[in-house]
Structure 1
Amino acid sequence: MLNRFLFTKIDNSPLLIFRIFFGLLIAAECYGAIVTGWVKRTLIEPKFTFNFIGFEWLQPLPGNGMYFYFFAMGTLGIFVALGYKYRFSIISFTLLWTGAYLMQKTAYNNHYYLLVLISGMMVFLPANKNYALDAKFKPSIKTNGMYSYVKWVIVLQLLIVYTYASVAKLYGDWLDFSMIKVLMTPKTDYYLIGGLLQQPCLHKVIAVTGILFDLLIVPALLWKPTRKFAFVCSIFFHLFNSFVFLIGIFPYLSLAFTVFFFEPETIRRIFFKKKKPYTTNKVMVPAYKNPLLIIFGLYFVLQLALPVRHYFFTDDVLWTEEGHRLSWRMMLRSRYGKIQFNIVNKTDGTSQIVKLDDYLTKKQKRKIGAYPDYIWQFAQHLKKEYAQKGEEISVYALNSVVSINNKPYRPFIDGKVDLAAEEWNHFEHHEWILPSKIDEP
């Protein structure tokens, strides 16, 4: 049964067209990051970046180096779309994109993480076996078929993403529609639809639709009787998100994934009319079956475990942020924080308040007071800077308060704790984060 499910040979048209879509989208993402000024604002202008903790050694290239970095990634995307030196191109892109992802989180977006995962998957998939320059230059690799597990690893990844996104929305501020109001209030000046987006009845529709779409879209696309309707819903849903929330390529990448839900023959007729139909449908168990099952088994166990890790931490993830990232908790909160950093010289006891303008960009200042890992990292940065001058310091967070989803500000960080002396643990609660009172009036 398992062999038939995973190792039946099917037409590879969905994988081929997805490779083309994927390559073009990642090229647009990387070139667009240069053109829109994202690279400049996020990786060139900052004096230092807030890396993912543990990856501080990954730093942006000096000067204008990150422009070349992103241009190289965009060009690799074009190579992927063309199927040119595919394995080298997709491996190189995966490494470079993962590096760019880990070296900053001020502009964190869930689709950046999804690109890490999908490009990593694409490294192992035979996406250059037809309609690719690799197959043209080396006809011996050309084939019209692929193993069915190629489809199912993509489908399972999407099921995890959407299901966790749906479940995460089952909390108070989403269910009472107040979070939708928070999301829509900044959209009042949108041409034509700005006023419509402020209507409470629309907020209810968006909230309910968000939960149901995320929960049902993958099963609905898999079931043939509902597939076309689900596809139409998917187009509307993702285009709405694209135009209203301006979230880059993610909506279009989500639409590109739908090619794996239609019959391979349907995809062939639409995109590759001259390609020979693949009708063999034989079960052919590869020699690498066991390593494949082990690798993908461990991968998906990790994917299932990461989004639930916050349940094992003290307090609410909405307050502490511990376990929020890598968990498909999308558009669930808006955070604003206020904070002062007080440096105390351990030798003579003198103290001073840090001028954040001397260290941070405007966007970094908007983040620094609202997220505990940013606060801790900045304290460590100050500690390192002063150590280089031969001074040993303590760093305290004064007057630290946070507002979540436009609720009243609440005390956030214990001002009596020397943050410079604290260690960071990815899998434990940090006691210097004060207990949440986000549900109090």
Structure 2
Amino acid sequence: MSFHFLFKKIDNAQLVVFRMFYGLLVSAECYGAIATGWVKRTLIEPKFTFTFIGFEWLQPLPGNGMYIYFAIMGTLGILITLGYKYRFSAFAFALMWTGVYLMQKTSYNNHYYLLMLLAYIMAFLPAHKDASLDAKLNPKLHSFTMPNWVRWIIILQLFIVYTYASVAKLYGDWLDFSIIELLMKSKSDYYLIGELLQEKWVHKIVAFFGIFFDLLIVPALLWKPTRKIAFVMAIFFHLFNSIVFQIGIFPYLSLAFTVFFFEPQTIRNVFLKTKKVVVEQSTTLPKNHKWVLGILGGYFLVQLVLPLRHHAFKDDVLWTEEGHRLSWRMMLRSRSGTIKYTVVNKETGKAININLNDYLTKKQRRRVACYPDFAWQFAQHLKKDYAKKGEDIQVFVTNTVKINQGEYYEFIDPKVDLASVPWKHLAHNEWIRPSHKE
């Protein structure tokens, strides 16, 4: 097989312009998190945070530390846009964003995960070779070209995200529009469009448009005859999501990705105002091409397999949530639940019902009532909290969960001491009750 296609030189205008958009958007995300109170609500006000399991040591900084943390990330975003100390700025942002991502999951969003992946990808790419302060200060660094695989790594990542998102929507509650109806109920008070969003025909359009857009947008942008109409549809789709679902920078980041689908000279004419770049074609593979192919192959193998892992677990991921994260299952379900924690002293047998208001914020209480890993982690927290008082305890829960517009069913086995069972990352946790599929 010939790999010359991946290593041929192409105009780097797409990557350079995307770097500018990417830096501005991550800066807006970080400064916006401070301005909107997200940092305060998510990382400062809670008495403790629900980290990804295994990262309990990764906790928010005390006092105003997280404000400073996010301000630094916002500044790094500006440096990325300017292309100043790019490698340092991009890697520093990637590491700091990873810290935020792992230290809290109460406000989990798929676009936080995508941004983490993208941050590391961008840190390795030669996005600072043109239209940057680095290239201006060091002319030897300047280049108008990049290897073709740089463009295709972005396109393939997008294709994986969109394709898995489309396939995941092919299930009952999406296809009968009930989940769309449920999602739109909370939008009824929106100015001008609130009532419109409650119409059945709107729900049908949203459901089918969501499936076909996710499935076809990347191929449609790649194919020149459909590129312009696909771009117009992308603008409509992402602005609709931004207005209706208010999901931060994700819609605008998705629009920024479209620069990789247009001709490099078109991008130069619109954004860089530079003359036409003549790219010298080379037929010689670089010495490190096997390393590059090996790393890229390994990365994308993980990206292809990871979203499928829930099929290896017992029961339905929609019910158990095991394997849901990191799999591009976006806006597919709404969960609600009730939960009661009972702490039993092993020595005296005395039982106490826990008042969750003493420990958790409102949003954390909702997560604990609906998601198994949150319920398990809070049991571990209670065990440690009581151990500080010299008490060895058991923790039992009475828990019911409802998926979308279904009925409430018992979710966690009330006879299992959650404080004593381990969490299984790669297997089904048997204390989760079986689903009640109709």
Q: Give the TM interval when normalised to the shorter protein.
A: over 0.9
CA contact (8 A) 2:338 2:401 kept: yes
- Aligned counterparts of 2:183 and 2:97: Cα–Cα separation in 1: 28
What's the counterpart of residue 292 of structure 2?
Answer: 292
Alignment of 1:410 onto 2:418: no
- Please give the secondary structure, in 1, of the residue aligned with 2:323: coil
Equivalent-residue separation in structure 2 for 1:62 and 1:284 (angstroms): 54
Distance 2:70 2:116 in 1: 15
What stretches of structure 1 of length at least 5 have no aligned partner?
Answer: none
Q: 2:193 aligns to what?
A: 193
1:284 Cα deviation after fit: 4.3
Q: Post-superposition shift, 1:263?
A: 1.3
Show the counterpart of 1:145: 145
Secondary structure at the residue paired with 2:220?
helix
- Structure 1 equivalent of residue 82 of structure 2: 82
Could you tell me whether the CA contact under 8 Å between 2:265 and 2:276 is conserved in 1? no
Aligned twin of 1:174: 174
Give runs of aligned pairs for residues 122-133 of structure 1, distance below 5 A: 122-133=122-133
- Cα 1:281/1:195, change in 2 over 3 Å: farther
Percent of paired sites with the same residue? 66
- Map of 2:379 onto structure 1: 379
Counterpart of 2:400 in structure 1: which amino acid?
A: V
Report the secondary structure of 1:419's partner residue: coil
Q: Number of matched residues?
A: 438
**CA separation in 2, counterparts of 1:414 and 1:174?**
29
Match of 1:244 in 2: 244
Larger mean Cα displacement after TM superposition, 244-253 or 263-272: 263-272
Does the Cα contact within 8 Å between 1:145 and 1:278 map onto a contact in 2? no
The TM-score with structure 2 as length reference comes to 0.99
Correspondence 1:85-104 to 2 at 5 A: 85-104=85-104
Letter in 2 for 1:406: Q
Deviates more, 1:268-277 or 1:346-355: 268-277
The match for 2:20 is 20
CA contact (8 A) 1:19 1:81 kept: yes
- The aligned residue for residue 428 of structure 1 is 427
Map 1:260-409; keep pairs closer than 5 Å: 260-398=260-398, 400-409=399-408
Q: CA deviation at 1:280?
A: 2.2
Gaps in structure 2 of 5+ consecutive residues: none
CA shift digits 1:219-245 (9 cap, x unpaired): 000111111110110000000000000
Secondary structure of the structure 1 residue equivalent to 2:3: helix
Deviation for aligned residue 1:61: 0.1
- Are 1:342 and 1:354, in contact at CA under 8 Å, matched by a contact in 2? yes
Residue deviations 1:69-121 (CA, integer Å, cap 9, x gap): 00000000000000000000000000000000000000000100000000110
Partner of 1:53: 53
**Letter of the structure 2 residue corresponding to residue 319 of structure 1:** W
Using the TM superposition, give the Cα deviation of residue 385 of structure 1 relative to its aligned residue in structure 2, in angstroms. 1.1
* Partner amino acid, structure 2, of 1:436: S
Post-superposition CA distance 1:322-364 (Å, at most 9, x none): 0000000000000001000000001111110011011001111
Q: Answer whether contact 1:144 1:276 (CA < 8 A) is retained.
A: no
In structure 2, give the amino acid aligned to 1:27: S
1:148 & 1:196 partners in 2: Cα distance?
A: 45
Distance 2:125 2:287 in 1: 16
1:248-283 CA-to-partner distances (Å, cap 9, x unmatched) read 000000000001111112111111122451332434
CA contact (8 A) 2:178 2:405 kept: no
Shift in Å, 1:183? 0.8
Give the structure 2 partner of residue 34 of structure 1.
34
In structure 2, distance between residues paired with 1:136 and 1:366 = 51
Letter matched to residue 407 of structure 1? G
3-state DSSP class of the match of 2:352?
Answer: strand
Structure 2 Cα separation of the partners of residues 251 and 321 of structure 1: 25
Partner of 1:218: 218
Within 2, Cα distance between the matches of 1:37 and 1:404?
29
Distance in 1 between the 2:283 and 2:190 partners?
A: 54
Taking a change above 3 Å as real, the CA distance of residues 24 and 283 of structure 1, as seen in their structure-2 partners, is farther
The residue aligned with 2:67 is: 67
Q: Contact 1:268/1:277 (CA < 8 Å) preserved in 2?
A: no
Is the CA contact 2:307–2:323 (under 8 Å) kept in the aligned structure 1? yes
Q: 1:207: which partner in 2?
A: 207
Displacement of 1:414 after TM fit? 0.3
1:278-304 Cα deviation digits (max 9, x unpaired):
332434422211111111111100000
- Corresponding letter in the other structure for 1:320: T
Contact 1:20-1:80 at 8 Å conserved across structures: yes
CA distance in 1, matches of 2:93, 2:125: 15
Determine whether 1:233 maps to 2:228. Answer: no
Quick check: 1:9–1:284 contact (8 Å CA) kept in 2?
no
Q: What CA distance in whole angstroms lies between the structure 2 residues aligned with 1:385 and 1:391?
A: 9
Q: Which amino acid aligns with 1:224?
A: K
- How many Å separate the matches in 2 of 1:340 and 1:225? 58
Q: Say if 1:258 and 1:283 are closer, same or farther in 2 by CA, change over 3 A.
A: farther
